[in-house]
Amino acid sequence: MANGLDDVVAADTVLSDVDGAGGHLTIRGHSLMELAGRWRYAQVVRLLFDGFFDDLPSDAELEKAIGNARVEVFDRVQPMLAQLAPLDIYSGMRAGMAVLPDGDGLADALRLIAAPAVLTPALLRLGRGETPVAPDEKADHAGDMLRMLSGAASPALAKALDSYLVTVCDHGLNASTFATRVVASTQAGLTSAILAGLGALKGPLHGGAPGPVIEMLDAIEASGDATAWLRKEIAHGERIMGFGHRIYRVRDPRADALKAVVRQLGSRSETGSRLAFAETVEQAALEVLRIAKPQRSIQINVEFYTALLLEAVGFPKEAFSNVFAAGRVAGWIAHAREQQATGRLIRPQSHYVGPVPDLVA
Ligand code: ACO
């Protein structure tokens, strides 16, 4: 059966490597552990973009250019925000991004980096009946995103969000990156390619999982018995959100990177008790899955602690996939450019298993 393209290699890439057996993620020669919590998002954008744009400036200049792009995107989308606000927050963001110019240059790329960070807080504020806050081009990207959300950003929360954006910036040929590359292979522009990635990211089997992780934690807390709740879900054929991965057969290294960030935040707030509870659910889920699916090693994935981190920095669960997109967009753009440079259209074949026409004698 060819439906999931398991083990099919569809691209050569210099961008990232996912070692599913060893549990390692490499991004352009750096291990995730080297980058997460140490590099800023703008530095990682530069790392991913290097070689794919002619006019790439220094880290500090790129940070400024991303700030300018936030202001430009805000000015562009402001007149349509009221029309986007009634949509679900992900569709509103995607529709706002769809109006951006569809070019291939650095300015196009930076607008796409800026757009989820600008649209998400603006639409959340409108949904709460509040006026959107304009970006501050001098602020750092993650800090400004939080400032646009709640009017202020503590340095600790801004650093936590920045670490999250870095942690999810790229991850091999996942479903949304593949979708992005397919569209880029037609030589369509970056906006078209990124819209394909956004569509693929939305689903609960991919980037739509962290919102349901919060719902699961709340339901388990209300039930009072994690193991019984999880067993019942599995018995009903449900999937445990935040667990399982196509490539990883061991722990997803991003889960531990994010858990460490949440732990740092938790030492000074109620996030600590939420983390302690999540850790008990994690252990219960691993045990229930080990017994229920002995044929497959189902481990924790990035989405479980994503949910805790994004909750702790102040995003509501319906916006978690938007924030995922705000980080992953850098990887999508680099992959789109890498695919465009091959000049090769992605066009696989299908195996026809339908009825054959009657042959007229
Ligand atoms: N809970 C329960 N059972 C699971 C889970 C899970 N989270 N994940 C896999 N399984 C089971 C399947 O039910 C199946 O069991 P069966 O053989 O008895 O039918 C078996 O494991 C294999 O399932 P596949 O779908 O073939 O596994 P795959 O590796 O393709 O799945 C996926 C990967 C889609 C992520 C899956 O693990 C899942 O649905 N997880 C829950 C949603 C989630 O967390 N998504 C985020 C993924 S990370 C990311 O995309 C950023």
Spatial contact of 100 and 73, defined as CB atoms under 8 Å apart: yes
pLDDT at 209: 87
Is 24 among the residues known to form the active site? no
Whole-number mean pLDDT of the chain? 96
Handedness of CA 326, 332, 333, 334 (dihedral sign): positive
- CB of 213 within 6 A of ligand 1: the answer is no
* DSSP strand pairing (24-27 vs 30-31): antiparallel
- CB of 92 within 6 A of ligand 1: the answer is no
- CB of 146 within 6 A of ligand 1: the answer is no
Would you state the structure tokens that stand for residue 46, as one six-digit string?
Answer: 């530069």
Q: Ligand 1 pocket check: which of 173, 206, 240, 243 to mutate, most ligand atoms within 8 Å of Cβ?
A: 243
- Tell me the three state secondary structure of residue 127: helix
- CB of 296 within 6 A of ligand 1: the answer is yes
Is 303 among the residues known to form the active site? yes
- CB of 298 within 6 A of ligand 1: the answer is yes
Predicted confidence band of residue 2 (pLDDT cuts 50, 70, 90): confident
Cα 329 to middle of ligand 1, angstroms: 24
Spatial distance between the Cα atoms of 118 and 104, rounded to a whole number of angstroms = 21
pLDDT digits over 260-296, tens only?
999 999 876 789 999 999 999 999 999 999 999 999 9
Domains of the chain: 26-204+317-342 (1.10.580.10), 210-312 (1.10.230.10)
**Mean per-residue pLDDT for 196-215?**
94
Would you state the structure tokens that stand for residue 178, as one six-digit string?
Answer: 């593949």
**Mean per-residue pLDDT for 331-358?**
96
Spatial distance between the Cα atoms of 133 and 217, rounded to a whole number of angstroms = 31
Cα 245 to middle of ligand 1, angstroms: 6
213 CA closest ligand 1 atom index: 44
pLDDT digits over 131-153, tens only?
999 999 999 999 999 999 999 88
**pTM of the entire predicted model:** 0.96
293 CA closest ligand 1 atom index: 18
